[in-house]
Amino acid sequence: MTSLDSDLLRTFLAVAGSGSITEGAGLIGRSQSATSLQIMRLEEVLGREVFDRTGRGVSLTETGQKLLPVAREVTGRLDAALREITSDGLRGKLRLAIPDDHGRAKLAEILGAFAQSHPQVDLDVTCSLSTEFPGMLRKGQLDLAVYEVESPETGEEVVHEDPTCWVASGHLKLDPKEPVPVALFDRACWWRDAAIEALERRGKPYRIVFSSQSVSGVTSAVEAGIAIGLLGRSSVEPHLTVLGAEQGFPAMPISRLVIGTAEAVEEPLAETMKAAIRKAFRAQGHGRLSRVMRPPSTV
């Protein structure tokens, strides 16, 4: 007696969602040939084709369109059942804040995994400028927050360190006779303070030509070749140049990503979330927590 296997349905959903055997294979961690074989087995069970093959990928047949909602419901129920059975019984509400820029994608991934492992925990997540997080913790508006500091204070657990450095695009030619064009954050934070202090110590003219409240904004200005900027080394792309002592720029501080907790917080919830953050970042970077480190370009 033939029957539908949930593994076949998951392969079907991956290919249907991506519109490609190759991309679908990447989503489920299988080879292209193994994925094709899974689809063939599914079609053998059904006695009908679920995809029309084209030069650019695949599209659903009428049978595939009928199978799609069924596959989603079946796999969704199986996943929900697994979460319910394996749940550790952790309950409650956790108010968490994550930075709007640094490590946002990785932290969002952690939150998704946490929600699946602990479905009975109600997560209230704030995603904004992290300079506000310490004050929100002190006021009792948050239970736990992830943010960046130069020097951690008591109660702040360091989970990632990233040296900062001055960076420029190859399109920018610095004229020693002209003020150095600089891109900075437009709000008070230690990154902006450290940058201005270093420029003042350098003792040479500079002018702020671009201001942004995000790392991506500063990075865009640097990549466009309109200014230099202070960035974390882990975010320096190969086509950018790190400015050092040879160009008259001093070594800059280390940025530290920390976890801060409020005084009145449910320990089991906070500790479980902190453990999830530590584990995910350590697995990715051997203790370096956000992005994979790349050797910076040198002049």
CA distance 179 to 290: 34
CA atoms within 13 A on the CB side of 228: 23
Across 2-16, 43-57, 184-198, 280-294, least confident range: 280-294
Question: According to the model, what pLDDT value does residue 225 have?
Answer: 93
182 is written with which tokens?
């600089």
Q: Sorting pLDDT into bands at 50, 70 and 90, what band is 296?
A: very low
Q: What is the pLDDT of residues 109-146, one digit of tens each?
A: 788 778 877 878 888 888 877 888 999 999 999 999 99
For the chain, where are the alpha helices, taking DSSP H only?
A: 6-18, 21-28, 32-46, 62-86, 104-117, 133-138, 190-202, 215-223, 267-285
Range with lowest mean pLDDT among 62-66, 84-88, 161-165, 236-240? 84-88
Burial class (CB in 10 A: 0-12, 13-18, 19+), 228: buried
Is 39's pLDDT higher than 70? Answer: yes
Q: What is the pTM of this model?
A: 0.60
Directed axis angle between helix 32-46 and helix 21-28, to 10°?
Answer: 100
Residue 295's pLDDT band (boundaries 50, 70, 90)? very low
Residue 104 confidence (pLDDT) above 70: no
Question: How many Å apart are CA 131 and CA 189, to the nearest integer?
Answer: 7
CA geometry: angle at 139 spanning 134 and 145, to 5°?
A: 35
CA angle, 141 then 146 then 150, to 5°: 115
Task: Answer for the pair 12, 42: CB distance below 8 angstroms, yes or no.
Answer: yes
Beta strands 121-128 and 92-99 are parallel
Terminal CA-CA length for the chain: 68
Q: What is the DSSP string of 117-134?
A: H-TTEEEEEEEE-GGGHH
12 CB contacts (<8 Å, ≥6 apart)?
A: 38, 39, 42, 50, 64, 67, 71
Q: What is the chain's Cα-based Rg? A: 25
